[in-house]
Structure 1
Amino acid sequence: MSSSIISDATSKVKNMVAGEKGRKVADLDSVSQTVSPDDRITSDFGVKMGNVDEWLRVANEKKTGPMLLEDSFSRERIHRFDHERIPERVVHARGAGAFGNFRLFESIEDLTTAGVLTDTSRETPVFVRFSTVQGSRGSADTVRDVRGFAVKFYTQEGNWDIVGNNIPVFFIQDSIKFPDIIHAVKPEPHNEVPQAQSAHNNFWDFVFMHTEATHMFMWTMSDRAIPRSYRMMQGFGVNTFVLVNQKGERHFVKFHWTPELGVHSFVWDEALKLAGQDPDFHRKDLYEAIDNGAFPKWKFGIQVIPESKEHDFEFDILDATKIWPEDLVPVRYIGELELNKNVDEYFPQTEQVAFCTSHMVPGIAHSDDPLLQGRSFSYFDTQLSRLGINWQELPINKPVCPVMNFNRDGQGRHTITKGQVNYWPNRFEARPPATAQEGAYPEPPFNIQGIKARTKSDKFREHYNQAQLFFNSLSEPEKNHLAAAFSFELDHCEDPIVYERMSQRLADIDLGLAQTVAEMVGGTKPEKQTRANHGKKASKISQVEFAPAKPTIASRRIAIIIADGFDNTAYSTVKATIKAASALPFTIGPRRSEVFPAGASKKPGNGVQPDHHLEGMRSTMFDAIFVPGGAESIKTLAKSGRALHWLREAFGHLKAIGGTGEAVELFKLAFALPDLRVSATDEAIESYGVVTLSKVSPESLRESITIAKEGVGFLEKFLYQISQHKNFDRELAGLNSQVAY
């Protein structure tokens, strides 16, 4: 072959490569469409359609006749509808997602060659999908469950996926058990009940039979499994990965995401009610926050252990049922994730996005974590079932860097590759493998010795120490919630074998916990601790330790309840202040039509248009409540059973509640608690998260406030209580249980 032909072919390849390298991140949206009034409906093959209301048929003025199969337009519409569903995910079926960016603040080139973790000048686009694990696509958001936290980085070297959860450990140590744990937690096979919950015999039978699950079921019975928002939960890579630097040195690593807003959860009654009242609460919350410019942010951190120290711990660092306690291995925060763009259409983006733990870029590698290795096979395999062999060509999954290989054909192929060859080596020397200098994924030599056997290291056999560590590290309210969660779940197990055995299993962790639960569920009360509690605690396990460095109410949803005759000064001032603090005020009235302030004539335009009415919403959908005074307004609300229910329910769910003027009397009626102090003067009083101001003056409601614990004004006190999420003193004092809600 002449050298000119080879040179020409090589030039074409180089030009194509150069063109693809110039492709911008915006290409992620290259096939997006905006619906416009100027558009006209067309078929899938582009022909405009004049009538989409009636099938082509034989008809006359007296008779409507049979449809004609020759109507290709109608057949196409029906066929597309019949096939518009794909198999849903076996796990993580219900999810919500958003686009954003990852910024690196500190290079870790001493640990890895990965550009996304070494180049601080980059801004890497990401897509994040949050999800529940157990339920189907139609289940509720707020069920007790692990939450998926999967991040796809569209890096210059290819896609990198961290397929994580909001809990740092897992139920099983080896991926061979994955079918069993999922079968056990899913609805029972004989009746397909219950949906999206672990409160049934099979799940608790499984975790009893697998003592390695002990640590994980402690986490899932904690408040971690009922997060207030996707934006207020941590993310963890769960598995142990490896970082490889320029010298070929290996370090073991775990990945962490810590939310800027703090780590917050519902209380159980609140989560239960929301599952029925607003099953889409979490996905709407994410969309609402981004839409309002309250972009969620997480700090990105790593825990690192040099390869030389792999065996220096009492646990195996490759065991996914164990954490690396931060007291032993501190988290090093090196970057930030921000979500700032909602999806344009759910199905092609959130539903068709596909993650794989095997998607890693040079400088990041697998460890011998026995759960990770099986996940890497499983994730890739399941995408083939859901999306077909060309799933990585879908816009949401497509890398932003050039994709050049000789893979061809298959269902759903998008790429059109020009040229005469589809193999290597070839006569044009087109698309040769990359060298290390050109960025080829490295496979550093790693010496392995051993025998072929179905086994793991001895350290994998210890299953209780970290379960005790978790329990010991919780605050008192969190321990109370844990006991209540076990009591709820095991109460739904009607097989005595199941709740009897679990009552005894809890004695391996803490005797008081076991006795409390056994008494509640009807199990035999253990008389002694079956395994001594080592008494150790660890930092950064209790959610209390993740409060934001600076108190904030950003993106919090605050209900302002009014009726005709309300105090407009207090209403307007508090609403403006809430907005100024980047929170979201919602006006709630007895009706959705105008509500009029005191002294205003009841003519259209003189009132306030509520966002919702009392029967259309519930207190569960908000983080706090404010009630402005006004004699007529408070008189109306005091006669409303629903208004009183709003207040009592919010009080029972430990939320901040604020009231001014005559609203103080409404609170006395609603709560009727002698230990609750309320204002009787122009001094603001905070008592168990209820903030009151009896006598209102312009000075007492200053719009310019600081959210701080030491604040003395009404707004300072009220907004600080909102920033704390829940008032657990109310619960510890037993006040919330004294209010019927």
Structure 2
Amino acid sequence: MSTNKNNLTTSWGAPVGDNQNSMTAGSRGPTLIQDVHLLEKLAHFNRERVPERVVHAKGAGAHGYFEVTNDLTKYTKANFLSEVGKQTPVFVRFSTVAGELGSADTVRDPRGFAVKFYTEEGNYDLVGNNTPVFFIRDAIKFPDFIHTQKRHPQTHLKNPNAVWDFWSLSPESLHQVTILMSDRGIPATYRHMHGFGSHTFKWVNEQGEAVWVKYHFKTEQGIKNLDVDLAAKLAGENPDYHTEDLFNAIAEGDYPSWKLCVQIMPLEDAKTYRFDPFDVTKVWSQKDYPLIEVGRMVLNRNPENYFAEVEQATFSPGNFVPGIEASPDKMLQGRLFAYSDAHRYRVGANHNTLPINRPIAPVNHYQRDGQMRFDGNGGSSLYYEPNSYGGPTESPENKPAPFEVSGMADSVPYDHNDHYTQAGDLYRLMSEEEQSRLIRNIVAAMKPVDKDEIKIRQIGHWLKADPDLGRRIAEGLGLPVPHNED
């Protein structure tokens, strides 16, 4: 038998003698069930697609590295940030949020910005967007919000009535909606946009001292956005425009890069700051907490296989390393569970053993079995803890920092409900040309809504953010300016 390494084989390694013709009973006879190669090909083909992500389905990714450029060890003991010049491999996935796997890259939508750091203490995932805020601030509203961005259950069409009805009844969304409807709602490429951790996190140093932190990835290519008409043209002519641009830039040696900066807030400031620092619909003023440089991220290698590396990549904001912890941000708290649970459903219980997700740090635990276990499954090693046989044990020095909690267990909203100041400030920072484009985009997006009640309710929010903004939107929609009551 030939052992040529180029022989086509079955998935079990047996050579295939004929890959052009099915085995039949005579030249015109029915196909035989004993043609196991045919059955294997068809059965595998039926199962080639894992379920697409509920959100962030369409995306592109690349490998690279992160290099520390500033010593911030007084704030965090995270090993990958411990030394200026230290490099850590990363994998980054960019994505649109609401569309399906085959949707266009150039639609008006936030962009996902997920970074996996392969550190010596385990994988650290920073799973954010290209915006510093989000539409909602409590995870209990997330399924309802995403339902409004998806398709109507009867028509299977996008539903602007649901979108604006939800937003108008959720005024905390106003800041993010303002960003979405601005020029930044359609980035020119994945390379020409900032990235943000969005949530507040906690950094802890070697002495156990903690601070609150926010992450900002600043593009070194400069911010560029797409004109709305050009974006629509590209959506029809080249729906994979952003995916293509990222791949080609890296292939040609034009490696995209970002400078990582953080804002640091002392723990005590959280009690008195004028906005709730854990509310993901708000930003911290950079005048109050200036950006501090941390390092630089460079993407310099394309994936070899999209499915294996981009589609099967799994990220979770719950993947921390010592020195980085969660905050009381309610959206973050929900995501700590939801993301890993989504991956267990979509890719499998052992998704973190796949090469793209596997840590470079040693992995020692007692988890066993589950679908697609391909790594030896722990062999004959110990499979429970505590034990008397020298199996892996906890390291108390790596316990999360303790924090104080108080109050009644209850379903309660955030204490701060000013949803208008920051959206209005953003509008007033824009040039007249930027303001006009923002209003044009809002009016165009709201016109299909069939209920004036929804439009007027939303205009009321714009009025509270800025009277000029609300008035101009009302005029664009041909509606009276509603009277706002505080």
Partner residue, 1:418: 379
Q: 1-side partners of 2:454 and 2:268: how far apart? A: 44
| Rg larger in structure | 1
Partner residue, 1:499: 455
2:8 to 41, 44, 47: 41
Partner residue, 1:445: 402
8 Å Cα contact 1:503-1:524 kept in structure 2: no
Partner residue, 2:390: 429
Partner residue, 1:171: 135
Amino acid at match of 2:470: A
Partner residue, 2:287: 327
Partner residue, 1:122: 86
Structure 1 segment 327-726 matched on structure 2, within 5 A: 327-416=287-376, 417-436=378-397, 441-459=398-416, 461-526=417-482
8 Å Cα contact 2:322-2:400 kept in structure 1: no
Q: 2-side partners of 1:381 and 1:303: how far apart? A: 30
8 Å Cα contact 1:242-1:366 kept in structure 2: yes
CA offsets 1:604-637 (integer angstroms, 9 cap, x no match): xxxxxxxxxxxxxxxxxxxxxxxxxxxxxxxxxx
Q: 2-side partners of 1:341 and 1:273: how far apart? A: 29
Change (3 A) 1:380 1:530: same
Q: 2-side partners of 1:86 and 1:222: how far apart? A: 34
Q: 1-side partners of 2:271 and 2:10: how far apart? A: 63
Change (3 A) 1:266 1:529: farther
1:220 maps onto 2:180 in alignment: yes
Partner residue, 1:234: 194
Q: 2-side partners of 1:187 and 1:45: how far apart? A: 41
Q: CA RMSD in A?
A: 1.6
Offset at residue 279 of structure 1 (A): 0.3
1:259 to 219, 228, 243: 219
8 Å Cα contact 2:460-2:484 kept in structure 1: no
The alignment's TM-score, normalised by the length of structure 1, stands at: 0.64
8 Å Cα contact 1:171-1:212 kept in structure 2: yes
8 Å Cα contact 2:218-2:260 kept in structure 1: yes
Q: 1-side partners of 2:293 and 2:433: how far apart? A: 29
Amino acid at match of 2:95: S
- SS of equivalent to 1:238: coil
CA offsets 1:70-93 (integer angstroms, 9 cap, x no match): 111111000100011111111000
Q: More deviation in 67-76 or 425-434?
A: 425-434
Q: 1-side partners of 2:253 and 2:342: how far apart? A: 35
Amino acid at match of 1:415: D
Change (3 A) 1:432 1:500: closer
Structure 1 segment 91-240 matched on structure 2, within 5 A: 91-194=55-158, 200-240=160-200
- SS of equivalent to 1:302: strand
The runs of 5 or more residues in structure 2 that have no matched partner are: none
Offset at residue 490 of structure 1 (A): 0.8
Offset at residue 291 of structure 1 (A): 0.6
- SS of equivalent to 1:65: coil
Q: 2-side partners of 1:411 and 1:118: how far apart? A: 37
8 Å Cα contact 2:171-2:461 kept in structure 1: no
Partner residue, 2:25: 58
Partner residue, 1:677: none
Q: 2-side partners of 1:513 and 1:308: how far apart? A: 36
1:288 maps onto 2:248 in alignment: yes
Amino acid at match of 1:256: H
Partner residue, 2:277: 317
Q: 2-side partners of 1:434 and 1:93: how far apart? A: 38
Offset at residue 420 of structure 1 (A): 4.6
CA offsets 1:647-686 (integer angstroms, 9 cap, x no match): xxxxxxxxxxxxxxxxxxxxxxxxxxxxxxxxxxxxxxxx
Q: 2-side partners of 1:323 and 1:121: how far apart? A: 30
Offset at residue 408 of structure 1 (A): 0.5
8 Å Cα contact 1:503-1:523 kept in structure 2: no
Partner residue, 1:732: none
1:304 to 247, 250, 264: 264
8 Å Cα contact 2:136-2:280 kept in structure 1: yes
Give the % identical residues. Answer: 40
8 Å Cα contact 1:170-1:238 kept in structure 2: yes
Q: 2-side partners of 1:47 and 1:387: how far apart? A: 27
- SS of equivalent to 2:30: strand
8 Å Cα contact 2:420-2:461 kept in structure 1: no
Offset at residue 250 of structure 1 (A): 1.0
The alignment's TM-score, normalised by the length of structure 2, stands at: 0.96
Q: 1-side partners of 2:463 and 2:401: how far apart? A: 47
Q: 2-side partners of 1:407 and 1:222: how far apart? A: 47
Q: 1-side partners of 2:185 and 2:468: how far apart? A: 22
Q: 2-side partners of 1:415 and 1:424: how far apart? A: 21
8 Å Cα contact 2:186-2:231 kept in structure 1: yes
Partner residue, 1:664: none
Amino acid at match of 1:322: K
Amino acid at match of 1:277: E
1:89 to 30, 42, 53: 53
Between 1 and 2, higher relative CO (CA 8 Å, sep ≥ 6) is seen in 2
Amino acid at match of 2:467: L
Q: 2-side partners of 1:271 and 1:368: how far apart? A: 38
Aligned length: 482
8 Å Cα contact 1:514-1:525 kept in structure 2: yes
Q: 2-side partners of 1:456 and 1:250: how far apart? A: 26
Offset at residue 529 of structure 1 (A): 7.2
8 Å Cα contact 1:166-1:234 kept in structure 2: yes
Change (3 A) 1:271 1:420: closer
Q: 1-side partners of 2:385 and 2:408: how far apart? A: 36
8 Å Cα contact 1:363-1:442 kept in structure 2: no
Offset at residue 431 of structure 1 (A): 2.1
CA offsets 1:494-552 (integer angstroms, 9 cap, x no match): 333222332333212223322322222232245x7767xxxxxxxxxxxxxxxxxxxxx
Offset at residue 375 of structure 1 (A): 0.7
Partner residue, 1:694: none
- SS of equivalent to 1:381: helix
- SS of equivalent to 1:354: coil
Q: 2-side partners of 1:45 and 1:107: how far apart? A: 52
Q: 2-side partners of 1:492 and 1:231: how far apart? A: 32
Change (3 A) 1:210 1:159: same
CA offsets 1:454-506 (integer angstroms, 9 cap, x no match): 114422x2211111111111222221111111011012223332223323332
